[in-house]
A and B are shown apart, each in its own frame.
Chain A
Amino acid sequence: EDQVTQSPEALRLQEGESSSLNCSYTVSGLRGLFWYRQDPGKGPEFLFTLYSAGEEKEKERLKATLTKKESFLHITAPKPEDSATYLCAVRSSGTYKYIFGTGTRLKVLA
């Protein structure tokens, strides 16, 4: 069964304290791994798509990487405005459905 697990569930960082969020997946053929940011009461905002192991994408303080079993979202020198829930999703080539993890709630303290 296709599955996505994100860890940790919640993370508190001091401003400037770098860290990584994990997204582990099992899927019958990966047709893309997607990272989103979601602020309270809003729809998820698209961040990155990764398609093959070894691929990396960067945007400002965020960098996403992909292996055959997991993806990491690295946050370098975070700021309070990076506080949000970060969601990971995969698209399965078996079902063509998008499966989402339950997210990591990130809080960056000033």
Chain B
Amino acid sequence: KAGVTQTPRYLIKTRGQQVTLSCSPISGHRSVSWYQQTPGQGLQFLFEYFSETQRNKGNFPGRFSGRQFSNSRSEMNVSTLELGDSALYLCASSLSTSGRKNDYEQYFGPGTRLTVT
């Protein structure tokens, strides 16, 4: 079974620009979560989507947004990029369906390394 894929893997943008990152979950997984990882802050939760609806949200400004499509693929968008947005952006998917214990195990993609100059 194919794992979580993220595109692009690397991205360099300039302050003020916007960026869109893409995530394809494991087949059959309906929940997709996004995280920002930086050396100083560790893994910070951005948001979670389930069945095309945002189910949960972290403490990030409105410049960070996302969406999920009917095939569970997800995109996140960052507008008006700032230098501090430079980070590894990780996507994770889980079954998150019936409430069985293992349904909430998250599997991560390789990440997109975003550099803002």
Q: Which residues of A contact B (CB under 8 A)?
A: 31-32, 34, 36, 41-46, 49, 51, 87, 89, 91, 95-103
B102 at the interface (CB under 8 A from A): yes
The 8 Å CB contact of A49, one of B42, B90, B105, is: B105
The 8 Å CB contact of A97, one of B45, B110, B113, is: B45
Would you call the interface of chain B mostly helix, strand, loop, or mixed?
strand
Q: Which residues of B contact A (CB under 8 A)?
A: 4, 33, 35, 42-45, 48, 55-56, 58, 88, 90, 92, 101-102, 104-111, 113
Would you call the interface of chain A mostly helix, strand, loop, or mixed?
strand
Considering residues B4, B35, B108, B110, which has the most beta carbons from chain A within 10 angstroms of its beta carbon? B108
Q: How far is the CB of B94 from chain A (nearest CB, A)?
A: 9
- A32 near B104 with CB under 8 A, answer yes
